[in-house]
Amino acid sequence: MELTQGMAAVVTGGASGLGKASAQALADLGLKVTIFDVNEEAGEAHAQAIGGTFARVDITDEQSVVDGFAAARAAHGQERVTVHCAMTSRRGKTLGWDKQNNCYKRLSTEDYAFGAEGILVSSYRVASLSALGMANAQPVNEDGERGCITLTASVAAQDGQIGQTIYGSCKAGVNGLVLPMARDLMDLGIRINSVMPGIFATPLMLGMKDRNPQMWDQLNASVPFPKRLGHPEEFASLICEIARNSYINAHQFRLDGAIRMPPR
């Protein structure tokens, strides 16, 4: 799909990290980007910097997302590129030691449901609402293409670690959405894919550099090549290529510097 000057895009979580880099990269290609985020100050600032718009959107609230898409379309027209980076979750082991009561306690169903809403359900919500708008718009090319949706999963979807019961399983669910949704949407000319980032130098991770430099060095060394954390711009570059290449559909990409590679 040709990413033409003025084409509309929506990026959730676009106020920081991978979403911010994705919004910047799409704007650099001439797209008009609407940022969805709950951080109004950062979201407004970045939207202004890239010549886009901002909508305060809580991805766990159906009406908030509906209203966000309405605002985005009013500003720039029907989005043809949607990138979903926003999420909320909680961390904890399936069973953890309760020091106060001297016994094991279970990760609560409420905590699990919170993560499922903030990762998996929100991914379906954003993707399906965007697809609905695309389906009712005219195709943009002779292939009948109407748009491209990219979800953010994680390498934890395949390699969930200790304390990632919620995160890993829900990110696996995000990957699981891709193929059936792609089949549902193929006759409408709408593509959907996911990206599984590894360890990236987002603001959250960069905070560790000063707090725990030893851990920071270990994380960098854990990447086979290059021996560093990923740059958000590298994630954004893949986002743009997925949107641009009409032959990429129903795929889950690992973007991780080969951290799954067995040690030599």
Q: Look up the CATH architecture of domain 8-202+231-253.
A: 3-Layer(aba) Sandwich (3.40)
Q: How far apart are CA 81 and CA 27, in angstroms?
A: 12
Active-site residues, by number, are 167
What mean pLDDT do residues 192-209 have? 92
**What pLDDT does residue 263 have?**
63
Query: Phi, psi (5° rounding) for residue 181?
Result: -70, -40
On the 0-12 / 13-18 / 19+ scale of CB atoms within 10 A, 187 is exposed
Q: What percent of the chain has pLDDT over 90?
A: 94
Helices (H), the chain: 17-28, 40-49, 62-76, 109-116, 122-135, 156-159, 165-185, 203-211, 213-221, 232-244
The angle, 0 to 180 degrees and rounded to 10, between the axes of the packed helices 109-116 and 165-185 is 40
Helices (H), 29-121: 40-49, 62-76, 109-116
Q: How far apart are CA 118 and CA 42, in angstroms?
A: 20
What does pLDDT average to over the chain?
96
Q: 204 pLDDT band (50/70/90 cuts)?
A: confident
> Quick count: other Cβ atoms within 10 Å of Cβ 160?
18
Q: 264 pLDDT band (50/70/90 cuts)?
A: low
> Which tens digit of pLDDT belongs to each residue from 217-237?
999 999 999 999 999 999 999
pLDDT for residue 175 is more than 90:
yes
**What pLDDT does residue 40 have?**
98
Provide the token pair at 240.
């743009």
> Which tens digit of pLDDT belongs to each residue from 14-73?
999 999 999 999 999 999 999 999 999 999 999 999 999 999 999 999 999 999 999 999
The angle, 0 to 180 degrees and rounded to 10, between the axes of the packed helices 203-211 and 213-221 is 120
Provide the token pair at 129.
């609402």
> What does the radius of gyration of the chain's CA atoms come to, in whole angstroms?
19
| Residue among 45, 131, 46 at smallest CA distance from 82 | 131
Q: How far apart are CA 102 and CA 67, in angstroms?
A: 48
Q: How far apart are CA 17 and CA 36, in angstroms?
A: 13
The sign of the dihedral angle between the CA atoms of 126, 239, 260, 91 is negative
pTM: 0.96
